[in-house]
Structure 1
Amino acid sequence: MADGRVRSLDATRGLAAVSVVLSHYVLVLADAGRRRYAHAYHTLQWLSYTPLGLAWAGRAAVVFFFVLSGYVLYIMWERGGLSYGAYLKKRVVRLYLPYAGAVILGILGAAFLYTGPLPGLGPWINKFWSWSPNVSSLWEHAGFVDAFNSDRYDFTIWTLVQEMRVSLIFPLIVVWVRRSAWTVAWLPFAALAVATIFVRGAASAAGGAWAATVMGGGLTAYSDTVYYLAPFALGALLACHRDAVKRRYLTLSSGRRLILGVLAFALYFYGSRTLAVLGDHRMLVHDWPTMMGAALGLVVIAYEPAVKALLDHRVFQYLGRISYSLYLFHPLVLLAALHLFYGHIALAPLLAGTFVATLLTADMAYRWLERPAARMARALGEGVTVRRTGVSASSD
Structure 2
Amino acid sequence: MAAALYGGPAVHSPLRYALIYTPLHLLWGGAEAVVVFFVLSGFVLARAIRSRSFSWYAYFPSRILRLYLPVFGAVAFACLVLLLPHDGATDSPWLTGRPAGYPFADIVKDITLLGGTSGVVSPLWTLRWEVIFSLLLPVAAFAVRAIPAWMLGLVCIVLSNVGAAAGSPALQYLPIFGVGVALEGEWERIGRVVARTTRRLGPLVWTAVLLAATVLLSMHWLLLAPLGHAITVVLAQTPIVLGAVILVIAAVHCSTVRRILTWRPVAWLGGISFSLYLIHEPIVILMANVTDSMRWTLVTAVPLALLLAWLFWMVIEHPAHLISRSVRAHATPPQPEPAPAASDDDTPSRSEADRAPVHA
Q: TM-score over 0.5 for the alignment?
A: yes
In structure 2, what residue type is equivalent to 1:121? S
Q: CA shift at 1:262, angstroms?
A: 2.3
Check if 1:142 corresponds to 2:111: yes
Residue 168 (structure 1) aligns with: 135
Bigger CA radius of gyration: 2
Instruction: Indicate whether 1:120 and 2:70 are aligned.
Output: no
- For residue 178 of structure 1, what is the aligned residue in structure 2? 145
Question: Cα–Cα, structure 1 residues 84 and 26, in superposed 2: closer, same or farther, change >3 Å?
Answer: same
Contact 1:29-1:121 at 8 Å conserved across structures:
no
Q: Deviations over 1:235-260 (max 9, x none)?
A: 11111221221121011122544332
CA distance in 2, matches of 1:62, 1:93: 21
Q: Select the residue among 319, 326, 329 that pairs with 2:279.
A: 329
Aligned positions, number: 330
Partner AA of 1:45 in structure 2: Y
| Contact persistence 2:275–2:317 (CA under 8 A) | yes
Task: Report SS of the residue matched to 1:184.
Answer: helix
SS of aligned partner of 1:278: helix
Structure 1 match to 2:341: none
Structure 1: 5+ residue runs without aligned partners? 1-24, 201-222, 387-392
Q: Is the 8 A contact 1:83 1:394 kept in 2?
A: no
1:379 aligns with 2:326: yes
Local SS of the residue matching 2:149: coil
**Preserved contact between residue 115 and residue 339 of structure 1 (Cα < 8 Å):** yes
Distance 1:168 1:376, change over 3 A: same
Identity %: 25
- Find the partner of 2:217 among 268, 275, 284: 268
Q: String of CA shifts for 1:147-177, please: whole Å, max 9, x gaps.
A: 242x12x121111111111111022112212
Find the aligned partners of 2:268 and 2:287 in 1 and give their Cα distance: 24
1:79 CA drift (Å): 2.2
2:69 to 78, 97, 100: 97
> Hey, what does 2:254 align to over in structure 1?
304
2:184 partner amino acid: A
Match of 1:251 in 2: 196
- Corresponding letter in the other structure for 1:321: G
TM-score by length of 2: 0.83
Checking the alignment, whether the CA contact within 8 Å between 2:160 and 2:171 is kept in structure 1 is: yes
Q: 2:33 aligns with which of 61, 66, 73?
A: 61
Task: Give the one of 82, 85, 99 matched to 1:110.
Answer: 82
Residue type of the partner of 1:259?
A
Q: 1:27 maps to which residue?
A: 3
Does 1:158 find its partner at 2:125?
A: yes
Cross-structure match for 1:317:
267
Partner secondary structure for residue 227 of structure 2 = coil
Q: 1:224 aligns with which of 169, 173, 193?
A: 169
Indicate the SS of the match to 2:50: helix
TM-score with structure 1 setting the length: 0.76
